[in-house]
Structure 1
Protein backbone atom coordinates (compact mmCIF):
# COMPACT_ATOMS: atom_id res chain seq x y z
CA UNK A 1 0.00 0.00 0.00
CA UNK A 2 1.15 3.50 -0.86
CA UNK A 3 -0.16 6.96 -0.01
CA UNK A 4 -1.51 9.07 -2.88
CA UNK A 5 -1.99 12.85 -2.61
CA UNK A 6 -4.56 14.56 -4.85
CA UNK A 7 -7.51 16.95 -4.89
CA UNK A 8 -11.11 16.58 -6.03
CA UNK A 9 -13.23 19.50 -7.20
CA UNK A 10 -16.76 19.58 -5.83
CA UNK A 11 -19.85 21.58 -6.63
CA UNK A 12 -21.30 24.27 -4.36
CA UNK A 13 -20.95 23.67 -0.63
CA UNK A 14 -23.94 25.23 1.12
CA UNK A 15 -22.87 24.60 4.71
CA UNK A 16 -19.14 23.93 4.99
CA UNK A 17 -19.22 22.70 8.59
CA UNK A 18 -22.02 20.17 7.98
CA UNK A 19 -20.46 18.99 4.71
CA UNK A 20 -17.08 18.57 6.41
CA UNK A 21 -18.67 16.55 9.24
CA UNK A 22 -20.38 14.24 6.71
CA UNK A 23 -17.14 13.79 4.80
CA UNK A 24 -14.98 13.23 7.87
CA UNK A 25 -17.43 10.67 9.25
CA UNK A 26 -16.81 8.63 6.05
CA UNK A 27 -13.06 9.12 5.84
CA UNK A 28 -10.34 10.67 7.94
CA UNK A 29 -7.90 11.32 5.12
CA UNK A 30 -9.70 14.28 3.52
CA UNK A 31 -9.79 18.01 4.06
CA UNK A 32 -12.62 20.13 2.64
CA UNK A 33 -12.44 23.80 1.68
CA UNK A 34 -15.17 25.60 -0.22
CA UNK A 35 -18.19 27.83 -0.40
CA UNK A 36 -21.37 28.28 -2.43
CA UNK A 37 -19.31 28.50 -5.66
CA UNK A 38 -17.61 25.12 -5.18
CA UNK A 39 -14.80 23.55 -3.28
CA UNK A 40 -11.76 21.32 -3.10
CA UNK A 41 -11.33 18.11 -1.15
CA UNK A 42 -7.66 17.29 -0.53
CA UNK A 43 -6.83 13.62 0.05
CA UNK A 44 -3.87 11.63 1.31
CA UNK A 45 -5.33 8.21 0.50
CA UNK A 46 -3.71 4.83 1.16
CA UNK A 47 -4.50 2.32 -1.57
CA UNK A 48 -3.07 -0.46 -3.74
CA UNK A 49 -2.70 1.96 -6.66
CA UNK A 50 -3.56 5.50 -7.68
CA UNK A 51 -6.70 4.56 -9.61
CA UNK A 52 -8.13 2.83 -6.51
CA UNK A 53 -7.20 5.85 -4.39
CA UNK A 54 -9.00 8.28 -6.70
CA UNK A 55 -12.01 6.00 -7.22
CA UNK A 56 -12.60 5.38 -3.51
CA UNK A 57 -12.15 9.09 -2.77
CA UNK A 58 -14.74 10.00 -5.41
CA UNK A 59 -17.13 7.41 -3.97
CA UNK A 60 -16.65 8.61 -0.38
CA UNK A 61 -17.06 12.26 -1.39
CA UNK A 62 -20.23 11.60 -3.39
CA UNK A 63 -21.68 9.46 -0.59
CA UNK A 64 -21.00 12.31 1.85
CA UNK A 65 -23.42 14.41 -0.22
CA UNK A 66 -20.86 16.41 -2.17
CA UNK A 67 -20.93 16.33 -5.96
CA UNK A 68 -17.51 15.58 -7.45
CA UNK A 69 -17.11 17.67 -10.60
CA UNK A 70 -13.47 17.01 -11.41
CA UNK A 71 -10.03 16.02 -10.27
CA UNK A 72 -7.39 18.74 -10.06
CA UNK A 73 -4.64 18.10 -12.58
CA UNK A 74 -1.09 18.51 -11.30
CA UNK A 75 0.25 21.40 -13.39
CA UNK A 76 3.92 22.30 -13.10
CA UNK A 77 6.28 25.11 -14.12
CA UNK A 78 9.81 24.73 -15.49
CA UNK A 79 11.16 25.18 -11.95
CA UNK A 80 8.76 22.54 -10.60
CA UNK A 81 9.84 20.08 -13.30
CA UNK A 82 13.50 20.75 -12.51
CA UNK A 83 12.95 20.18 -8.80
CA UNK A 84 10.92 16.99 -9.30
CA UNK A 85 13.37 15.59 -11.88
CA UNK A 86 16.45 16.54 -9.88
CA UNK A 87 17.81 18.62 -12.77
CA UNK A 88 18.43 22.30 -13.40
CA UNK A 89 15.84 24.67 -14.84
CA UNK A 90 18.24 25.26 -17.74
CA UNK A 91 18.27 21.51 -18.54
CA UNK A 92 14.45 21.49 -18.54
CA UNK A 93 14.39 24.52 -20.84
CA UNK A 94 16.68 22.64 -23.24
CA UNK A 95 14.33 19.62 -23.20
CA UNK A 96 11.37 21.89 -23.94
CA UNK A 97 13.08 23.58 -26.89
CA UNK A 98 14.52 20.30 -28.18
CA UNK A 99 18.16 21.41 -27.77
CA UNK A 100 18.72 18.39 -25.50
CA UNK A 101 16.98 15.10 -24.95
CA UNK A 102 15.06 12.99 -27.44
CA UNK A 103 12.67 15.79 -28.48
CA UNK A 104 8.87 15.82 -28.46
CA UNK A 105 8.62 17.31 -24.97
CA UNK A 106 4.92 17.64 -24.04
CA UNK A 107 3.27 20.90 -25.02
CA UNK A 108 2.19 23.21 -22.19
CA UNK A 109 -1.38 22.74 -21.00
CA UNK A 110 -1.68 26.39 -20.02
CA UNK A 111 0.64 29.34 -20.49
CA UNK A 112 4.02 27.98 -19.32
CA UNK A 113 2.33 25.22 -17.28
CA UNK A 114 2.73 21.54 -18.10
CA UNK A 115 0.79 18.43 -17.10
CA UNK A 116 2.98 16.53 -14.64
CA UNK A 117 1.41 13.27 -15.86
CA UNK A 118 2.66 13.92 -19.41
CA UNK A 119 6.05 15.26 -18.32
CA UNK A 120 6.66 12.36 -15.92
CA UNK A 121 5.83 9.88 -18.70
CA UNK A 122 8.17 11.71 -21.10
CA UNK A 123 10.95 11.67 -18.48
CA UNK A 124 10.44 7.95 -17.85
CA UNK A 125 10.43 7.15 -21.58
CA UNK A 126 13.53 9.29 -22.15
CA UNK A 127 15.22 7.90 -19.03
CA UNK A 128 15.96 11.41 -17.84
CA UNK A 129 15.69 12.74 -14.30
CA UNK A 130 14.67 11.09 -11.08
CA UNK A 131 10.89 10.79 -11.05
CA UNK A 132 8.86 9.91 -7.94
CA UNK A 133 6.97 6.88 -9.24
CA UNK A 134 4.02 7.35 -6.84
CA UNK A 135 3.63 11.04 -7.77
CA UNK A 136 3.80 10.19 -11.47
CA UNK A 137 1.24 7.39 -11.06
CA UNK A 138 -1.05 9.77 -9.15
CA UNK A 139 -0.72 12.48 -11.81
CA UNK A 140 -1.66 10.00 -14.53
CA UNK A 141 -4.66 8.63 -12.58
CA UNK A 142 -5.86 12.16 -11.80
CA UNK A 143 -5.69 13.20 -15.45
CA UNK A 144 -7.57 10.08 -16.58
CA UNK A 145 -10.24 10.39 -13.89
CA UNK A 146 -10.82 14.05 -14.73
CA UNK A 147 -11.39 13.22 -18.41
CA UNK A 148 -13.95 10.57 -17.44
CA UNK A 149 -15.75 12.93 -15.05
CA UNK A 150 -15.95 15.57 -17.78
CA UNK A 151 -17.35 12.97 -20.19
CA UNK A 152 -19.96 12.02 -17.58
CA UNK A 153 -20.99 15.69 -17.23
CA UNK A 154 -21.34 16.00 -21.00
CA UNK A 155 -23.63 12.94 -21.02
CA UNK A 156 -25.69 14.25 -18.08
CA UNK A 157 -26.17 17.68 -19.68
CA UNK A 158 -26.86 16.43 -23.21
CA UNK A 159 -30.43 16.44 -24.48
CA UNK A 160 -31.96 12.99 -24.01
CA UNK A 161 -32.05 12.42 -27.78
CA UNK A 162 -28.27 12.82 -28.01
CA UNK A 163 -27.22 10.65 -25.05
CA UNK A 164 -27.47 7.35 -26.92
CA UNK A 165 -25.32 8.69 -29.76
CA UNK A 166 -22.75 10.05 -27.29
CA UNK A 167 -22.56 6.69 -25.49
CA UNK A 168 -22.05 4.98 -28.85
CA UNK A 169 -19.30 7.48 -29.65
CA UNK A 170 -17.57 6.70 -26.34
CA UNK A 171 -17.82 2.96 -27.08
CA UNK A 172 -16.51 3.48 -30.62
CA UNK A 173 -13.36 5.29 -29.45
CA UNK A 174 -12.84 2.94 -26.50
Structure 2
Protein backbone atom coordinates (compact mmCIF):
# COMPACT_ATOMS: atom_id res chain seq x y z
CA UNK A 1 0.00 0.00 0.00
CA UNK A 2 1.18 3.52 -0.76
CA UNK A 3 1.51 5.96 2.16
CA UNK A 4 2.00 9.71 2.03
CA UNK A 5 4.16 11.52 4.58
CA UNK A 6 4.32 15.21 5.41
CA UNK A 7 7.49 15.74 7.45
CA UNK A 8 8.80 18.83 9.23
CA UNK A 9 12.48 18.81 8.29
CA UNK A 10 15.81 20.54 8.78
CA UNK A 11 19.21 20.36 7.11
CA UNK A 12 18.11 21.20 3.57
CA UNK A 13 16.46 24.31 2.15
CA UNK A 14 14.29 25.28 -0.80
CA UNK A 15 17.15 27.50 -2.01
CA UNK A 16 19.38 24.42 -2.39
CA UNK A 17 18.77 23.53 -6.06
CA UNK A 18 20.62 20.20 -5.76
CA UNK A 19 18.54 19.05 -2.78
CA UNK A 20 15.28 20.16 -4.41
CA UNK A 21 16.21 18.26 -7.59
CA UNK A 22 16.90 15.08 -5.60
CA UNK A 23 13.60 15.39 -3.76
CA UNK A 24 11.75 15.81 -7.04
CA UNK A 25 13.64 13.40 -9.30
CA UNK A 26 14.40 10.57 -6.85
CA UNK A 27 11.37 10.69 -4.58
CA UNK A 28 8.76 12.52 -6.69
CA UNK A 29 8.42 14.70 -3.60
CA UNK A 30 7.99 18.38 -2.79
CA UNK A 31 10.05 20.57 -0.44
CA UNK A 32 8.36 23.75 0.75
CA UNK A 33 8.98 26.50 3.31
CA UNK A 34 6.35 28.19 5.45
CA UNK A 35 7.10 30.74 8.18
CA UNK A 36 10.70 29.65 8.42
CA UNK A 37 9.90 25.94 8.63
CA UNK A 38 10.66 23.43 5.87
CA UNK A 39 8.22 20.70 4.96
CA UNK A 40 8.82 17.58 2.88
CA UNK A 41 6.04 15.69 1.12
CA UNK A 42 7.02 12.16 0.01
CA UNK A 43 5.32 8.80 -0.42
CA UNK A 44 6.47 5.21 0.02
CA UNK A 45 4.91 1.77 -0.15
CA UNK A 46 4.92 -0.74 2.70
CA UNK A 47 2.85 -3.37 4.47
CA UNK A 48 1.74 -0.62 6.88
CA UNK A 49 2.51 3.02 7.62
CA UNK A 50 5.34 2.21 10.04
CA UNK A 51 7.04 -0.07 7.51
CA UNK A 52 6.68 2.59 4.79
CA UNK A 53 8.13 5.27 7.10
CA UNK A 54 11.00 2.92 7.96
CA UNK A 55 11.75 2.52 4.24
CA UNK A 56 11.57 6.20 3.37
CA UNK A 57 13.87 7.18 6.26
CA UNK A 58 16.55 4.84 4.88
CA UNK A 59 16.12 6.02 1.29
CA UNK A 60 16.21 9.69 2.27
CA UNK A 61 19.33 9.24 4.37
CA UNK A 62 21.13 7.58 1.48
CA UNK A 63 20.30 10.38 -0.99
CA UNK A 64 20.22 13.38 1.40
CA UNK A 65 22.60 12.70 4.32
CA UNK A 66 22.23 16.24 5.70
CA UNK A 67 18.44 15.93 5.97
CA UNK A 68 16.92 15.63 9.44
CA UNK A 69 13.32 14.48 9.82
CA UNK A 70 12.02 16.26 12.92
CA UNK A 71 8.44 14.96 13.06
CA UNK A 72 5.36 14.30 10.99
CA UNK A 73 3.04 17.20 10.33
CA UNK A 74 -0.58 16.41 11.30
CA UNK A 75 -2.14 18.02 8.18
CA UNK A 76 -5.11 19.42 10.10
CA UNK A 77 -8.39 19.97 8.26
CA UNK A 78 -11.69 21.60 9.12
CA UNK A 79 -15.15 20.90 7.75
CA UNK A 80 -14.59 23.14 4.71
CA UNK A 81 -11.24 21.49 3.94
CA UNK A 82 -12.76 18.02 4.12
CA UNK A 83 -15.65 19.05 1.88
CA UNK A 84 -13.23 20.43 -0.71
CA UNK A 85 -10.99 17.34 -0.67
CA UNK A 86 -13.83 14.87 -1.14
CA UNK A 87 -15.98 17.10 -3.35
CA UNK A 88 -18.92 17.19 -0.94
CA UNK A 89 -20.93 20.02 0.59
CA UNK A 90 -20.10 21.43 4.03
CA UNK A 91 -23.56 20.34 5.18
CA UNK A 92 -22.86 16.79 4.05
CA UNK A 93 -19.58 16.69 6.00
CA UNK A 94 -21.24 18.24 9.05
CA UNK A 95 -23.79 15.42 8.98
CA UNK A 96 -20.93 12.90 9.09
CA UNK A 97 -19.39 14.73 12.04
CA UNK A 98 -22.66 14.85 13.97
CA UNK A 99 -23.49 11.22 13.19
CA UNK A 100 -26.69 12.07 11.30
CA UNK A 101 -25.49 10.07 8.29
CA UNK A 102 -23.63 6.78 7.91
CA UNK A 103 -24.53 5.66 11.41
CA UNK A 104 -24.00 2.02 10.43
CA UNK A 105 -20.25 2.56 10.14
CA UNK A 106 -17.52 3.43 12.60
CA UNK A 107 -18.11 6.88 14.14
CA UNK A 108 -16.42 9.90 12.64
CA UNK A 109 -12.98 10.36 14.25
CA UNK A 110 -12.52 12.64 17.24
CA UNK A 111 -11.12 16.09 16.44
CA UNK A 112 -7.45 16.78 17.07
CA UNK A 113 -8.26 20.14 18.62
CA UNK A 114 -10.08 23.45 18.24
CA UNK A 115 -8.93 26.36 16.09
CA UNK A 116 -10.88 29.48 16.99
CA UNK A 117 -14.27 27.93 17.64
CA UNK A 118 -14.08 25.22 15.02
CA UNK A 119 -12.84 21.63 15.45
CA UNK A 120 -10.03 20.32 13.27
CA UNK A 121 -9.09 16.74 12.45
CA UNK A 122 -6.02 14.92 11.21
CA UNK A 123 -6.54 14.21 7.53
CA UNK A 124 -5.08 10.73 8.05
CA UNK A 125 -7.86 9.86 10.50
CA UNK A 126 -10.56 11.30 8.24
CA UNK A 127 -9.12 9.56 5.20
CA UNK A 128 -9.09 6.21 7.05
CA UNK A 129 -12.74 6.75 8.02
CA UNK A 130 -13.67 7.58 4.41
CA UNK A 131 -11.96 4.38 3.24
CA UNK A 132 -14.92 2.44 4.70
CA UNK A 133 -16.98 3.85 1.83
CA UNK A 134 -14.36 3.64 -0.88
CA UNK A 135 -13.71 7.39 -0.72
CA UNK A 136 -10.74 9.52 0.29
CA UNK A 137 -7.24 9.59 -1.15
CA UNK A 138 -5.68 6.62 -2.93
CA UNK A 139 -2.42 7.51 -1.16
CA UNK A 140 -2.87 7.06 2.58
CA UNK A 141 -1.46 9.47 5.17
CA UNK A 142 -0.73 7.96 8.60
CA UNK A 143 -3.44 8.03 11.24
CA UNK A 144 -2.87 9.74 14.59
CA UNK A 145 -1.68 6.53 16.27
CA UNK A 146 0.63 5.71 13.38
CA UNK A 147 2.03 9.25 13.29
CA UNK A 148 2.72 9.19 17.05
CA UNK A 149 4.60 5.91 16.65
CA UNK A 150 6.61 7.29 13.73
CA UNK A 151 7.45 10.48 15.67
CA UNK A 152 8.65 8.36 18.60
CA UNK A 153 10.84 6.17 16.36
CA UNK A 154 12.32 8.87 14.09
CA UNK A 155 15.13 9.95 16.47
CA UNK A 156 16.10 6.32 17.17
CA UNK A 157 16.14 5.42 13.48
CA UNK A 158 18.26 8.43 12.58
CA UNK A 159 20.74 7.87 15.44
CA UNK A 160 21.19 4.29 14.26
CA UNK A 161 21.91 5.45 10.72
CA UNK A 162 24.25 8.15 12.06
CA UNK A 163 26.25 5.34 13.68
CA UNK A 164 26.54 3.56 10.32
CA UNK A 165 24.35 0.67 11.48
CA UNK A 166 21.37 -0.93 9.69
CA UNK A 167 17.75 -0.34 10.62
CA UNK A 168 16.23 -3.72 11.44
CA UNK A 169 12.68 -4.33 10.29
CA UNK A 170 10.78 -7.27 11.80
CA UNK A 171 8.07 -9.09 9.84
CA UNK A 172 6.07 -12.21 10.78
CA UNK A 173 6.29 -15.09 8.30
CA UNK A 174 2.54 -15.68 8.59
CA UNK A 175 -0.31 -14.49 10.80
CA UNK A 176 -3.78 -15.40 11.98
CA UNK A 177 -3.10 -19.13 12.39
CA UNK A 178 -2.88 -19.28 16.18
CA UNK A 179 0.93 -19.08 16.25
CA UNK A 180 1.29 -15.30 16.28
CA UNK A 181 2.40 -15.31 19.93
CA UNK A 182 5.25 -17.73 19.12
CA UNK A 183 6.47 -15.45 16.33
CA UNK A 184 6.22 -12.45 18.66
CA UNK A 185 8.36 -14.37 21.15
CA UNK A 186 11.06 -14.73 18.48
CA UNK A 187 10.86 -10.99 17.80
CA UNK A 188 11.10 -10.11 21.50
CA UNK A 189 14.15 -12.36 21.88
CA UNK A 190 15.81 -10.61 18.97
CA UNK A 191 14.84 -7.14 20.17
CA UNK A 192 16.42 -7.97 23.51
CA UNK A 193 19.55 -9.19 21.74
CA UNK A 194 19.79 -5.99 19.69
CA UNK A 195 20.02 -3.89 22.86
CA UNK A 196 23.29 -5.62 23.81
CA UNK A 197 26.56 -3.79 23.05
CA UNK A 198 27.89 -4.74 19.63
CA UNK A 199 24.73 -6.58 18.54
CA UNK A 200 23.85 -4.21 15.70
CA UNK A 201 27.45 -4.24 14.53
CA UNK A 202 27.19 -8.02 14.34
CA UNK A 203 24.01 -7.76 12.30
CA UNK A 204 25.68 -5.22 10.02
CA UNK A 205 28.38 -7.80 9.30
CA UNK A 206 25.90 -10.63 8.75
CA UNK A 207 26.83 -12.59 5.59
CA UNK A 208 24.01 -11.30 3.44
CA UNK A 209 25.20 -9.58 0.23
CA UNK A 210 22.62 -6.79 0.39
CA UNK A 211 22.89 -3.92 -2.04
CA UNK A 212 21.17 -1.69 0.53
CA UNK A 213 23.26 -2.02 3.70
CA UNK A 214 21.16 0.44 5.73
CA UNK A 215 18.08 -1.75 6.09
CA UNK A 216 17.75 -5.37 7.10
CA UNK A 217 14.49 -7.30 7.17
CA UNK A 218 14.24 -10.07 9.77
CA UNK A 219 11.38 -12.53 9.17
CA UNK A 220 10.22 -14.13 12.44
CA UNK A 221 8.87 -17.65 11.97
CA UNK A 222 7.93 -20.94 13.59
CA UNK A 223 8.96 -24.35 12.30
CA UNK A 224 5.59 -24.95 10.61
CA UNK A 225 5.79 -21.79 8.47
CA UNK A 226 6.23 -22.33 4.77
CA UNK A 227 9.38 -21.02 3.15
CA UNK A 228 7.20 -19.48 0.43
CA UNK A 229 5.60 -17.32 3.15
CA UNK A 230 9.02 -16.29 4.38
CA UNK A 231 10.14 -15.06 0.97
CA UNK A 232 6.86 -13.16 0.49
CA UNK A 233 7.83 -10.95 3.44
CA UNK A 234 11.00 -9.76 1.74
CA UNK A 235 10.38 -6.22 0.57
CA UNK A 236 9.62 -5.21 -2.99
CA UNK A 237 13.00 -3.49 -3.19
CA UNK A 238 15.00 -6.27 -1.49
CA UNK A 239 16.35 -9.68 -2.43
CA UNK A 240 17.86 -10.63 0.94
CA UNK A 241 16.58 -10.99 4.50
CA UNK A 242 17.34 -12.96 7.67
CA UNK A 243 15.06 -15.77 8.82
CA UNK A 244 14.75 -16.01 12.62
CA UNK A 245 13.11 -18.91 14.45
CA UNK A 246 13.45 -21.14 17.49
CA UNK A 247 14.90 -24.60 16.83
CA UNK A 248 13.92 -27.95 18.29
CA UNK A 249 15.60 -27.09 21.60
CA UNK A 250 14.08 -23.58 21.63
CA UNK A 251 17.44 -22.06 20.70
CA UNK A 252 17.27 -18.91 18.58
CA UNK A 253 18.48 -19.56 15.04
CA UNK A 254 19.28 -17.07 12.28
CA UNK A 255 19.45 -17.97 8.60
CA UNK A 256 20.27 -15.73 5.61
CA UNK A 257 17.53 -16.14 3.00
CA UNK A 258 16.89 -14.51 -0.34
CA UNK A 259 14.54 -14.49 -3.28
CA UNK A 260 15.17 -16.59 -6.35
CA UNK A 261 17.09 -13.62 -7.79
CA UNK A 262 19.48 -13.35 -4.84
CA UNK A 263 23.10 -13.68 -6.05
CA UNK A 264 25.29 -16.26 -4.36
CA UNK A 265 22.47 -18.20 -2.72
CA UNK A 266 22.06 -21.98 -2.74
CA UNK A 267 18.58 -22.76 -4.15
CA UNK A 268 16.38 -24.77 -1.80
CA UNK A 269 15.89 -27.25 -4.63
CA UNK A 270 19.61 -28.03 -4.42
CA UNK A 271 19.01 -28.99 -0.80
CA UNK A 272 16.26 -31.42 -1.80
CA UNK A 273 13.42 -29.15 -0.71
CA UNK A 274 10.30 -28.43 -2.75
CA UNK A 275 7.99 -25.42 -3.02
CA UNK A 276 5.90 -26.59 -0.04
CA UNK A 277 8.90 -26.96 2.29
CA UNK A 278 8.68 -25.49 5.78
CA UNK A 279 11.15 -23.81 8.09
CA UNK A 280 11.31 -27.12 9.96
CA UNK A 281 12.33 -28.91 6.76
CA UNK A 282 15.14 -26.39 6.29
CA UNK A 283 16.29 -27.03 9.87
CA UNK A 284 16.44 -30.77 9.19
CA UNK A 285 18.56 -30.18 6.08
CA UNK A 286 20.85 -27.89 8.07
CA UNK A 287 21.19 -30.57 10.74
CA UNK A 288 21.50 -33.65 8.58
CA UNK A 289 22.27 -32.34 5.11
CA UNK A 290 20.66 -33.61 1.88
CA UNK A 291 23.08 -36.58 1.96
CA UNK A 292 23.42 -36.88 5.74
CA UNK A 293 26.18 -34.27 5.69
CA UNK A 294 25.31 -31.12 7.71
CA UNK A 295 24.89 -27.83 5.86
CA UNK A 296 26.59 -24.84 7.56
CA UNK A 297 23.79 -22.85 9.30
CA UNK A 298 24.83 -19.50 7.82
CA UNK A 299 24.80 -20.75 4.23
CA UNK A 300 22.69 -18.23 2.24
CA UNK A 301 19.58 -20.01 0.94
CA UNK A 302 17.58 -18.83 -2.08
CA UNK A 303 13.83 -19.35 -1.87
CA UNK A 304 11.65 -19.76 -4.96
Give the structure-1-normalised TM-score: 0.60
Residue 139 of structure 1 corresponds to 141
Task: Work out whether 1:115 is the aligned partner of 2:113.
Answer: no
1:89 lines up with 2:90 in the alignment: yes
Relative to structure 1, the CA distance from residue 24 to residue 132 in structure 2 (aligned partners, 3 Å threshold; closer, same or farther) is closer
Between 1 and 2, higher relative CO (CA 8 Å, sep ≥ 6) is seen in 1
Please list, as runs of the form range in 1=range in 2, the aligned pairs for 1:124-135 lying within 5 A after superposition: 124-125=131-132, 127=133, 131-135=135-139
> What is the CA–CA distance in structure 1 between the aligned matches of 2:145 and 2:26, rounded to whole Å?
23
Cα root mean square deviation, aligned: 4.0
Supply the distance in 2 between the matched residues of 1:123 and 1:21 (Cα, whole angstroms): 33
- Mapped to 1, the partners of 2:44 and 2:152 lie a distance apart of 27
Shift of 1:54: 3.8
CA distance in 2, matches of 1:133, 1:95: 17
- Could you list the runs of 5+ residues in structure 1 that have no partner in the other structure? 157-166, 169-174
- Gaps in structure 2 of 5+ consecutive residues: 158-190, 193-304
Inter-partner Cα distance in structure 2 for 1:22 and 1:85: 31
**2-side partners of 1:100 and 1:14: how far apart?**
45
Structure 1 residues 94 and 30, CA, compared in 2 at 3 Å: closer, same or farther?
closer
- Corresponding residue number in structure 1 for 2:70: 69
Matched residue pairs, number? 149
Change (3 A) 1:143 1:12: farther
Distance 1:143 1:17, change over 3 A: farther
**If each structure's helix is expressed as a fraction of its own residues, which one has the higher value?**
1
Q: CA deviation at 1:38?
A: 4.7
